[in-house]
A and B are shown apart, each in its own frame.
Chain A
Amino acid sequence: MSGELLNLTLRVWRQAGPAASGGFRDYQLRGVSTHMSFLEMLDVLNEQLHQAGEEPVAFDHDCREGLCGSCSLMINGQAHGPERGTTTCQLHMRRFRDGDTIVIEPWRATAFPVLRDLVVDRSAFDRIIQSGGYVSVNTGNAPDGNAIPVPGHLQELAMDAAACIGCGACVAACKNASAMLFVSAKVSQLAILPQGRPERNARVVRMVAQMDQEGFGSCTNTSECEAACPAEISVSNIARLNREYLRASMTAEF
């Protein structure tokens, strides 16, 4: 079974380092199999560049299974490309046509500075998690798994929020570069569960403060984040974040 072969023009953002000024470079790529993933296509490009003695294009990737959230490309103006609920590594070249020009850019946000070419520094997300995206537990014997009953529908809700892989597509696709979908997923996955309740007030206040400090924009409820999210996190989590924040500001003791 041989798929169609594509001839493509790639317009790729090249930037030598964080302080360097970048720009677009056009590359021609011939005979790309439609069975390739988007990242495999970039591997072929880099092979070609390497053979020509040029610097390969730097891009983030790790699992290539849609699980880790490392891959992060703005493809023709869409975070992770045209497919809904799909990471760049799971995007296949059959979504493109022969002769297409594909514009590839890094995430653009002040809080995500470009390190090199298509790689951005997403440690702002790590610092938000460090500020409150955890539960404190005593070490020692493992607790009885069923000691705390959790209703099934709450498990589902928490798991839906926990599907966030922290890739940053919500920030990238938002016209305000807001991180509300990410933060709301991280607040929700814990706030819904009994284990997360004791720290819920401090958590939301601290995580929102850290989010602001990192320089993310403010949410206008445009819902572009939800459409761009490869894990299909719902904006109802943002409403929950707002509720948690209201509640914490009015009632909290911490």
Chain B
Amino acid sequence: MNALVRILSLPACYLSRLPGCGPLVRACSTSVGQKILMAITGLSLCGFLVAHLAGNLKLFAGEQDFNQYAAMLHSLGPALAAAETGLFVVFVAHLGLALSTTAMSRAARTQAYEVMESKQGVFALPQGGASGWMLVTGAVVLVFLVCHLIDLRLKVNPFVDYRPAVAAGAAGSAGGHVNEFLAVRQVLTSSPSRYIYLLGLVALGIHLAHGVQSALQTLGISHRRWNPLFRLISLLFAWGIAVGFISLIAWAHAVNR
């Protein structure tokens, strides 16, 4: 893990050599700085999730609307490529920082306790609630993301039958492109994809349930009067996103009947 952390910190090393970037890299490299970056990257990824869910809810509007939306995205060309690259950088940074801060914490206690008992009362999950599961749920989301890209970005999942989507696309219903609407429906109803997606989305919900409120605290956004509301908003946001995407899987099953 330490070797991985060192590789992932290489961009920061090179960045610090750029004129003007030294102080920034130094401020961001302490434990607190890394956590602040974690929070900023995490919230940016949440922004992407909102846009992605909003776009995909067009599935409910029907084939034509969704394909129009897909065609609009494709027509952005280089702008879309730039956004995807940005997203990739933010994602890798979030992951690298997670490994780096975890390595710090592992090194901070090398001898485990014989007995460890929380004083915080009951949690929905063992190990101190969602915050004890960030690395695990993060890893599940990563696997889900890789599968998702294979399924719908590259469209090379051997377990998915893409032929109807390709045929419909060639027949001109989507301007020569693959018919994205049909492709999404095929993927969401195929095994094992649908199970991986379901698991990935539940993990995402748990991850965000702690992640969003933790990010606010890390950015110093905390007030005795408002904290309960922040917590509520974080939970609603987390499960809103997760349930929103899960509803698409449910929809795909309903229409394929």
Contact = CB atoms under 8 A, between A and B. Distances in A.
B115 A103 contact: yes
Interface stretch (B5-13, B56-64, B182-190, B215-223): B215-223
Given A74-B113, A218-B105, A246-B36, A239 B217 contact: yes
A221 B230 CA distance: 14
Interface in B75-106: 101, 104-106
A77 B31 contact: no
Nearest to B213: A221
Which of B213, B218, B223 lies at the interface centre, i.e. has the most chain A CB atoms within 10 A of its CB?
A: B218
A78 to B, nearest CB: 5
Contact of B108 (A177, A236, A243): A177
B108 A222 contact: no
Contacts of B18: none
B32 interface: yes
- Chain A contact residues: helix, strand, loop or mixed: mixed
A111 B108 contact: yes
A218 B27 contact: no
A224 B104 contact: no
A56 interface: no
B132 interface: yes
B219 A242 contact: yes
26 contacts: A74-B115, A77-B114, A77-B115, A105-B114, A110-B110, A178-B108, A212-B104, A215-B107, A215-B108, A217-B31, A217-B104, A218-B104, A219-B218, A220-B105, A221-B210, A222-B128, A224-B120, A224-B128, A236-B223, A239-B217, A239-B220, A239-B221, A240-B220, A240-B222, A242-B32, A243-B220
A78 B113 CA distance: 10
Contacts of B173: none
B72 interface: no
A108 interface: yes
Given A208-B30, A209-B30, A224 B115 contact: no
Contacts, number: 134
B120 A227 contact: yes
Interface string B115-129: 111111000000011
A25 B106 CA distance: 27
B210 to A, nearest CB: 8
Interface of B: 23, 27, 30-36, 101, 104-120, 128-129, 131-132, 134, 210, 213-214, 217-224, 227
Nearest to A13: B114
A148 to B, nearest CB: 25
Contacts of A212: 30-31, 104
A12 to B, nearest CB: 11
A220 B131 contact: yes
A238 B31 CA distance: 13
Contacts of A236: 222-224, 227
Given A242-B32, A242-B220, A78 B109 contact: no
Interface residues of A, number: 48
Contacts of B109: 108-110, 176-177, 217
B105 A178 contact: yes
A223 interface: yes
A195 interface: no
A176 B214 contact: no
Contacts of B227: 236
B35 A218 contact: yes
Given A111-B108, A217-B108, 17 more contacts: A11-B114, A175-B116, A175-B132, A176-B104, A178-B105, A178-B108, A208-B30, A208-B32, A217-B31, A219-B31, A221-B213, A224-B119, A239-B217, A240-B222, A243-B220, A245-B33, A249-B27
